[in-house]
């Protein structure tokens, strides 16, 4: 089926959608993005994604392409036009194009490029991968220092996933100065003696929208949560581990660098948090 996508004010078949070859997103990775999940045809935590998008744009001195209300309308229209029950809405804003290539930013009145498209993912909630759990490798974190800004500079995370794949695993956790930062496209946690441990927020990690919701839900469920730096060796010695992201919710981790966690199957806290999160997401979706 040909998708209907959104480009700068127009809804078009994906085969007809066009962006300039001079677009700074294309030439310089001068663009930010958001991914919002859809369950039961409704958007999960749209507000959180809209607020983070605004923050990413502000941090890069990039213009807002439209209002939050307009963004919500575009999301909803794409979900409807493409008949998405479970899936994702990808949004990207770039600094646009002034018709040439230059390191200097184009003039402030250059319109940003706004692109959105849907990805149909039946079975997003009832994901078999979550029942199996993910196998992780650890690799060095060599990304730039502003990982709190959700830019499209995804080459290294992409290389990390390929390294994991080559090693027969599912994903990689990134390690900097001896401490785990996050996963290639998710936030990272381990559980020891009932306590959930994750790295505190800083410029070194993305401030996950799912992280925020899961931390709140864990506390509401009387689970103990500690935000502190942790090493890959601590995670390997954990009872269980998991990751969070908008596209995979809570994903149990069953192996790190070849070491099985607990009995090598998804742990009870990760399973419970996944259940609670999806339940709450369905209830609060718009
Ligand atoms: N960390 C990184 C590097 C990511 O790319 C992502 C999601 O893409 C996350 C964390 C999780 O963020 P969220 O829960 O907002 O999807």
Is there a single domain that holds both residue 111 and residue 136? Answer: no
CATH number of the domain residue 233 falls in: 3.20.10.10
Is there a single domain that holds both residue 111 and residue 139? Answer: no
3-state secondary structure the chain: CCCEEEECCEEEEHHHCCCCCCCHHHHHCCEEEEEEEEECCEECCHHHHHHHHHHHHHHCCCCCCCCHHHHHHHHHHHHHHCCCCCEEEEEEEECCCCCCCCCCCCCCCCCCEEEEEEEECCCCCCCHHHHHCEEEEEEECCCCCCCCCCECCCHHHHHHHHHHHHCCCCEEEEEECCEEEEECCCEEEEEECCEEEECCCCCCCCCCHHHHHHHHHHHHCCCEEEECCCCHHHHHCCCEEEEEECCCEEEEEEEECCEECCCCCCCHHHHHHHHHHHHHHHHHCC
Final residue before a domain boundary, out of 55, 87, 120 = 120
CA 78 to ligand 1 center in whole angstroms: 22
What would the pLDDT profile of 133-158 be if each residue is shown by its tens digit? 999 999 999 999 999 999 999 999 99
Distance CA 235, CA 138 (A): 11
Task: Evaluate if residue 67 carries a pLDDT over 90.
Answer: yes
Is there a single domain that holds both residue 87 and residue 138? Answer: no
Confidence band for 209, pLDDT divided at 50, 70 and 90: very high
Minimum CA distance residue for ligand 1 atom 12: 208
Number of domains in the chain: 2
Domain of 41?
Answer: 4-120
What would the pLDDT profile of 25-64 be if each residue is shown by its tens digit? 999 999 999 999 999 999 999 999 999 999 999 999 999 9
Q: Tell which atom from ligand 1 comes closest to the C-alpha of 209.
A: 15
Final residue before a domain boundary, out of 77, 101, 120 = 120
CA 9 to ligand 1 center in whole angstroms: 27
Is there a single domain that holds both residue 157 and residue 70? Answer: no
Is there a single domain that holds both residue 30 and residue 169? Answer: no
CATH number of the domain residue 90 falls in: 3.30.470.10
Return the percentage of the chain with pLDDT > 90, whole number.
Answer: 99
Give the mutation target among 52, 157, 184, 187 for probing the ligand 1 site: most ligand atoms within 8 A of CB. Answer: 187
Confidence band for 1, pLDDT divided at 50, 70 and 90: confident
150 is an active site residue: yes
Is there a single domain that holds both residue 196 and residue 261? Answer: yes
Residues within a 6 A CB radius of ligand 1: 182, 185-187, 206, 208-211, 244-246
Is there a single domain that holds both residue 89 and residue 133? Answer: no
């Amino acid at each position: 089926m040909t998708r209907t996508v959104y480009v700068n004010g127009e809804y078009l078949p994906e085969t007809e959608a066009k962006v300039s070859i001079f677009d700074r997103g294309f030439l310089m990775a001068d663009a930010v993005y958001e991914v919002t999940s859809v369950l039961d045809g409704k958007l999960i935590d749209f507000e959180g994604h809209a607020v983070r998008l605004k923050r990413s744009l502000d941090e890069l001195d990039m213009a807002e392409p439209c209002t939050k209300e307009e963004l919500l309308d575009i999301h909803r229209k794409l979900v409807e036009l493409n008949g998405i029950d479970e899936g994702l809405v990808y949004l990207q804003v770039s600094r646009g194009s002034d018709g040439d290539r230059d390191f200097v930013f184009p003039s402030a009145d250059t319109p940003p490029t706004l692109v959105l498209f849907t990805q149909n993912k039946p079975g997003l909630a009832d994901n078999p991968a979550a029942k199996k759990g993910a196998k992780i490798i650890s690799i060095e974190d060599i990304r730039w220092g502003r990982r709190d800004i959700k830019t499209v500079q995804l080459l290294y995370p992409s290389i990390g996933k390929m390294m994991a794949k080559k090693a027969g695993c599912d994903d990689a956790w990134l390690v900097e100065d001896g401490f785990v930062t996050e996963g290639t496209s998710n936030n990272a946690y381990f559980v020891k003696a009932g306590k959930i441990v994750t790295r505190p927020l800083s410029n070194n990690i993305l401030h996950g929208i799912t992280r925020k919701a899961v931390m709140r839900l864990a506390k509401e469920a009387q689970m103990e949560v500690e935000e502190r730096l942790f090493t890959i060796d601590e995670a390997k010695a954990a009872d269980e581990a998991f990751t969070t992201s908008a596209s995979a919710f809570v994903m149990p981790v069953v192996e790190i660098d070849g070491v099985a966690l607990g009995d090598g199957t998804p742990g009870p806290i990760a399973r419970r948090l996944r259940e609670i999160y999806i339940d709450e997401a369905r209830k609060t979706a718009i």
